[in-house]
Structure 1
Amino acid sequence: MNESLLRGLVPAVIGVLVRRGADFAAAEDAVQDALVEVVRKDVEGPPRDLKGWLITVAWRKFLDAARAEGSRRRREELVDAEPAPGPGETVDDTLQLYFLCAHTSLTPASAVALTLRAVGGLTTRQIAQAYLVPEATMAQRISRAKRTVSGVRFDRHGDVATVLRVLYLVFNEGYSGDVDLAAEAIRLTRQLAAMTRHEEVAGLLALMLLHHARRPARTGPDGRLVPLAEQDRGRWDTGLITEGIGILQTALARDRLGEFQAQAAVAALHADAQSAEETDWVQIVEWYDELVRLTGSPVARLNRAVAVGEADGARAGLAALAELDPALPRYTAVAAHLHEHDGDPATAARLYAQAARSTPNIPERDHLTRQAARLNARLRTSGGPAGQPHPLP
């Protein structure tokens, strides 16, 4: 059975059940039960009309659950309403399901879990493994999320920006367990892009593709983090880069710039450079200016300080950094990088060590620790400059 095809049908089947009168939580449970049945049936050969078969089985699972609750009157109404088995219904409620799962009443963690379950078709066990939490914990989180949105009308227009933030959160989790969340986020964003011509949906898809293209080069054979400037660009996926840049150019041509398009433009400039030395940092600064204008994000300002340091020199980067809150995540690592470029290895070594102690990310912590050790070793050996600076990851 084609797992990707199967999971792609899940939101449409849930939508059919909801339109027939099932509440969202019960519909989602019934579809998950139907997925178990289709896996069993695959031994005999998959149904010819997979969507229609899933709808029929899921509806009967829902009816069984309704009967078990002893709701006689509701049961009779539902049984009378049951259509005869036939081709799958053509109305696609997937877009509304995206909006429902990213409802503003949900926490980001709950919205992510519900999206992966209801839109992505993943099991509770798979989601729990991906987020490294017990299955019972994830089951409770999903159950609470379903109860929260069960009373929300299914036909109301949702917020695309909220949906995109949920998908971006999924993508940033990367890979763990037996589910590649980065690939799953790309699959779901492709699905969303096929349903809407929204420029920011295209921008997010382009951003994901451009970042994902560099994934094979991000770690060395020993598992160490490889900074962008040191990556073997021959290992980058040129097919994904070409696709991402094409999607971005189409979105930018509509002249409705958004933050994900601006981020994708930065990623495209990195991807387009044949070497780190050929990176167009001046244009990258300009795109960060746009991103700061659009969002006011402190993280965007921090990344802009790095770009300014590359385009106009370390002193200019340090001046831009001085305008920001030192409590920002990665502030100290950026300061270390800029001080090293400015020819102050002793300060840089101290800041690299300080940044390593404060980051929860183990690969990044190891990288920063090695940076500090490299500078300290050279200072002890030569008593002079610590050599060429190594870039941030």
Structure 2
Amino acid sequence: MPSLPVEVLLGLYLGLLTGIVPAFVAGSLGFLVRYFTGVTLPGFGVVVLALSIASVQGGLLGLVEPTIAQSPRLLVAVLVVLMLALYAHNQGDKLGSELPRRLSLTSLRQRTLSADVVELVGSVGQVTVRPTGEIHDMEGYPPLSADLRRTLKGGSWRLPADLPLSELEARLEERLRTDHDLADVAVAIDERARATITAAPPSGGLSRRVPAGRRAVSLTTLVPTGLASGDVVSVRVGDRSIGGTVVSARTETDDEIDGDDGSSGPADAVAPDGGADPEPAPAAKPHAATAGGSGRVTIAVPRRDVKPVLEAESPRLVVRSRGTSREFEALSLVKREGYAIRRLTVGPIGATDETIAGTDVTVLAVRRQGSETGERRHGWVFAPGIERPLEAGDEAFVAGPDDAVEAFAEAIAQ
């Protein structure tokens, strides 16, 4: 008769060999029962089921070698079978409780961030999104420059944490496109706020800023301090005044600050002891404001006014006022009356007309959720004239007294 250690090893081998099928059956039953009924399968039933299935296999094995029934390896094999069956049942029950009952494209699209990466700033949650891996080149476009690739890889962006990942991706794409003049960009953000960025370098930056039907004209004149791309100006040519939009501006003072005149800046810096190269000068931002003084300005003007501007000997530049932003004026008037404006997301139950009518809250705008993917980048519907009641997942801007807005937010969040 083999020794006890050999019997234990044989029992472990037989238990693993025999316990595969009972463990699979126990795990499957545990998952199905918990997923469809919400009830955990009793452990005693799992033990009886596993022993029943294992006895069939053990009986077949006993016909081949009857001495197994009188050896200690049988007890070890039974223990291994029961442990495997109970473990598989526990994992199946856990999977059945965590798996969503209704899985759709909308729920997959509306994934949110993990709670571990959310930072509370006052009462508002924010998240810092950082790139992960390399910055990929977009197919069909030239590769990114080394400086731009390094800038994107080392960047970080703070965004609201209460938005779904699809909305965070859209906002980060818009910010990257605006900050770096990218021709195109695609961003994918995971639950840990790690962004995978695919970008295309700027192409035709000047031509893209010239509106259709206009021409870009450069002139040398006295540039006002603070002039930047996008400002509306008038060019005084004799008795005429020609309006246009600034596309780019550069002055002699800006060149001196950047070290382009040879008198200062990193261009003439001496390497420190040890032979290390000086740090390169930061690249000039295309939309930065000028320091003022003599310089050159590129203005987008109508085609009929190109010749008069080019023939002018001493044109004068006058910056025109754009006026006050109407959006800020409207917001200040609402707050002056003691009302609060909040952006809310409707909960699973939704909000009926009775819920809205029973409060002093006014729904200003609603962004409807897409029927298939939950896409909500566009589609704001402004009140009055909302076609249907608020449904689960819709976003809404509401206005009203503070207490009424708080009560309405609690009502629709349920």
- TM superposition score category, shorter chain reference: under 0.3
Q: Name the structure where helix makes up a greater proportion of residues.
A: 1
Q: Name the structure where strand makes up a greater proportion of residues.
A: 2
Q: Greater relative contact order: 1 or 2 (C-alpha under 8 angstroms, separation 6 or more)?
A: 2
Larger Rg: 2
**TM-score w.r.t. length of structure 2:** 0.22
**TM-score w.r.t. length of structure 1:** 0.22
